[in-house]
Structure 1
């Protein structure tokens, strides 16, 4: 039956009327507050005891059969385990009542939570949950049969195109009206091809973010749980259920519509889609967006006082804009490529990327001459890729980097320089941006050396489909199109050309000339979709480039013309998933890896990392690379020294003494430390320091602080007490390790402001008591090891006076003091070269490593001669590669660069800028608790309550994942995993620091 052929005015029922209906039909006294609806009336009822329920006044267009079908569907949902609210019977025991002006009335239980419409940004896990819920819906309703399902209303997607045509005249904006109708026409043309193959069943029909109640999870986000409002229940295409759900998710981040493919994939894993359904999905998403816009305008035309409908116009517009922001052929390809349905539809002109190239054997014998038969000289392929050696030292950031690569290639005497199809270009990477740049070319660029005019010929048999002033489109025999742009055309449309037929002339020039060759599938250029050259750079003739997320579709829509041009194919794809599988197969499960879906990092420059697709990230965690990634001075030092000598430190060479002297010169003037012992890592440095204190004192016991990390060697792990790295740390320490209380003034036993010296004194007194007890038990302390800043706690600064007092007590007890400077040394705090300087102390031993080699393996211990010589009681010390000429030369290059580039000053200035930015965010976002640290060793602690300091650990993990999407790498630390650790390369700029703060602000604004 046709129960609703048009948009309808809502029932004329006021809040006072609703209260009367509640009293008359349900026997309750309640206060009514209207909720939004397009064509019905919904009211929240609140009784005096606080009990809440929802009253629905149905539009008269709905019949009793439709209501009974909805009740049957609710039973089916509950039987399948899909959460839905119960319909509450009226005073007479019936689910449907008659109230007010004879309207059909129903009352449902109130569901706690919030509509997913209000969720803001939807994390990948939430998108997958939405897809799973839509699948649960169709699975639950698959066998539902009821006369009330035989409905044909405007929201049934099978008639959506007709309804768009009917409602579109209400759209007052003419340009928008044309866009809506054109998009609907194109979507229908694709649907017509597969409609007969689409399964039909009972579907909810409006399973959107507005009709799904969200429950807040442990990660602080809303998660879709309860299905509401079955007013659009009817027989429909099964895939339409998913299309409606997916379309409703688009407005949460309309600039990235492909994110909803996570929901699509989750649906497919639980309710597998056929190829026909996969092909139909995005056209249905477009149609849904079109009818939302057209229907919204029509609703306002007939019910202008409907504030709900007026407010929805903005959201509906965003859905339509996002749904149509990609060419339809591309969007369809994204869906089918992501799902790979098991029953592919054979379409002659949908050839794969590996389709045989016409005349490929003949073309390969003479590179490019099938297109430019008159060229005289070599053809060279230019490497503008992510790992190009020609783009070191940040040259890829130069605006003319690509042109310089081409000029360099042609300067060598080559006739043509080729920028190939499908190779991610580092030259197009952008930094400090929430969006990945368009880096993947869908065509091949030929840069022809300056010289006389040259004939341009067709490399294959073809028919001229289109010809312009500067380019031609040729239709090949297999249905694909070959675009050649950048020359003067002299052929006419519909001309049939044999291979080698001239199509135009490349004019003479004193500079290089560009030709762009693009080979695409027919559906990428035909119909209403924007032609492929719509994504080319305007007025340059350069091949179009697409962002990494669009590559899966374009790698199928656009084919590599290399075979036609006689060139080897170099096309790339994102291999991060392959690398993850390889890693999981060959590496130990205990080896840590960042991120749920990690990117594959292949390049770094200063404080940026770049993945295989050319996406750049601000690196906020790599304190190992203190100078920054790819430092030229370090690279040159490695290159020079490795060509001269690299041997072990038992030989005599000047680099070892030179580097050791430079290190000692960096100590405070009153330092008694005069001896350096070099190893390969921070773990080895800590291990050696522990051996030294035990040898020097003749004692065994070492005192370490709780929540500390000192390394992975047997001894380093023994004094590592952090539950972040080992949940059983405190229960598994060896007998010779004593764990003392950590002086964390935010979360420890004693708490107070930074300037409150009593906090430090009380912690030190407790340490002194520990030392006394150890001595009484016959276990006097050999040494005390402490990070100069509590790194694993999140960059927490030691309380004022603590370290000086602690050192004094340890020394009075006959022990030695080890400063673990592996993370905070070398100017990271900004206030001094060494972290211990901010406490006005000098340790007996200093363990150093990470920043010493800027990522090169080097570590060491600085101590006094007396302590170092004590090791002779245990035999000779050596490290085969510790202190080798190469390591020392790298260390010297690092020290030179730190001095020349003012890294300590930058750490101080940018650290203050970052800390101020984070504190400003804390004024707006309650989830931010204390800001820890100093310089470029900071921690942003996230809490659920600032009074109780309940850790926001799950929120912190989710925030890190979202920041990665926005181009910022930051990770969590502390035993509670709720502190964002901020310890970037010391060269980070103010611009990148500001961007990182802004990105965090955006994330917190989106969801917390």
Structure 2
């Protein structure tokens, strides 16, 4: 075969330079594979490159390079690339004749000063600069085309499959097998997609010798040279080629590629489908390089230029072969601002958005367990990973001792924790030379061996396998979840007992709440203290063993998207990991110093709540408590509709009622529409106490009287005049006793009615107590001004008035000239389920109704609703004004509460869930002798505990123990009644069947524990 490569000596080359370009100077040879290049130091101080082109190059290719350089000069004049210097005849090229009469063309271009990238440190900054330079280069060629660009080169990545024809030149069978693996991936996954990719004229050879670094700033690219391999090809090929060479001998070749891609993307935005092929294209450039070198070596023997990058290319190929391509691609995607895998962020958002509807991972919600961090991240602690692996039983014993001493029931090893104690080759990074994988990418839940774990979401079993390696997973299960409106994702469940292997198989379907497995003992879980390793993979195409349990610190941002924190999926409150604010001790100290000393506080060990959500309260340690007590948040804590209405109106206007505003009349209209037609006029205040105080003013204006009839053990507010009519206050410690104008009727408690009273007569018999009080007043020539009662007395012990009681009492009071006031502060707004207002269950219409607490779902607002006649009597010349009562924000909140109650049909929910709970409580009554009575309507419930069912003697200590025991198990309730022996429950109206089941389970468990201790 005729050798067409030019072979001119320095003198001859100098003569050509002078003859055709009129330049004199010193020449020095430059390395070249096909052509002959010389560096020219011209006598006038300029520097050039003289290229004598291989005679075999078709003229059209030379014309293509000429056109390419001219285009760059015209449209990218600031790009540091070679510029054409014309011949003496103003042509772009000259010609000369070489050996064997071969015709060679000559090109003279400007010299670009700089240090080859191959000889630099290849910092992240310089590689990003390279990407930007290459992006600018390719962007400047948009719209440029030439016939010479459509040439057939083996270096065209579309032709990388031709490397298979050169495999016979690779002597080592392992090396050959390595190349076969990449070729197989290329044929299957890459080559078929070329036709869909964007293509353009590209540089096609930004190798580390063709890229120059600024000698004065090693973080900046000075230029790109050698346009000899430019052609029309997929745009992404330029990034792949640059990345392939930049990764040679680089400690983090994918990081190098990511920096180049990031820089390119900033100048010339890449598409996701292009980045998804980048890893394979990088590898195939290297495959082409090593097979070309082997082929040429076989033809021409040793050639330093051919072999110059072969050794590091093989090293990099072996590194790439050891990597998971999907992880490498995730890093490249993330570098360009795309999700690590398509849909990754959607998965996390879906879980956060739907976390409240997920089934519990343990036998009850994880957040309800008293929990603590397991100190695996502390290398000095005996419970570290290495210690646990070496002495699992000792580690387990240490943890059990800690739980017993602190009351902790659950240990949590957090996602993202730095665990520098991980050792062994299995934790060495496959991405970064010399680095280790130290960041925990799952969530560990430590409980006793045999603890069952359940899937929070419906799933299909992907795999069930046993990993026998030390420090491995033991029994490992992968589940695939495909919820609506969410990309599919995987969950990984590790360190389980082997029993699951016989129970589950790939393809099985699991409903939400189905058993996944049990926490295994050290002998079967990889040698660890019993726990569950739970992990999410947003890449649903990974096999179970491909999912990284521990990742590199450097790529934590990528792992965050690929393997997001499963805390929400598991049901862990974020406050568990992020604690802020003052300590309990400091707050208690400051309360004593700064607040009234008799300000009440719940529990011997007070709770610091930092967040409310629905039926749950979350404390500063991330523990969630099911709130069955705080009836202020009627439709659930922080209901989004209320929050939104409050914020929207507060951001627009808040003022007082001296000005006109739509909200106050709109709310009055809506509120009175829930009442009997007689109750048509509303007045707005800020609290239940203010409402009852206003009710007394209305009463006085209408009757001119002061005499009050109230029920024993009643509570109506915090002002002095309300304390004076609240037997719960004035008869207890600190009270001043009963005032002369206050008359106390017997609590109409059917459970404690005399045994000889027929049940159908309870209402009438208890009403006789009121008749006696009216008669006594009449004997003194006095009359009652009003009768005030909660429609269901709460503090008295969740007492449900016997049928006919209010009807009889109202008749007697009205006949005596008094008014009847219904205190609905605790029981109104549909809580009873069957009606909007509890007084309606008695078939009566009060003269005045007071509301509070639930009216604003936690916002301070209350109301009084009365008849037009009473309202008119109040219009006596003295104005009524309340600075904040009825303000636009409060009324917007009130409207939102009504909207939610009606829109979500919460009255029906209250009735159904209430009946469900009452049925369950009565079943408990059959099991536990201490339960004397179960009473309730809707979500207003009571369980009275007695020492003896026959005598009905109160079991006060048992009631307190049950209330405290429920609190310890994460459920809030209270005790009420004259003897504090009635368990009081007022869950929010949104209380679900799942919430009810949790309450039932905790009560059952608590009764068993308390009664066992009591003997």
Q: TM-score, normalised by structure 1?
A: 0.47
Q: TM-score, normalised by structure 2?
A: 0.47
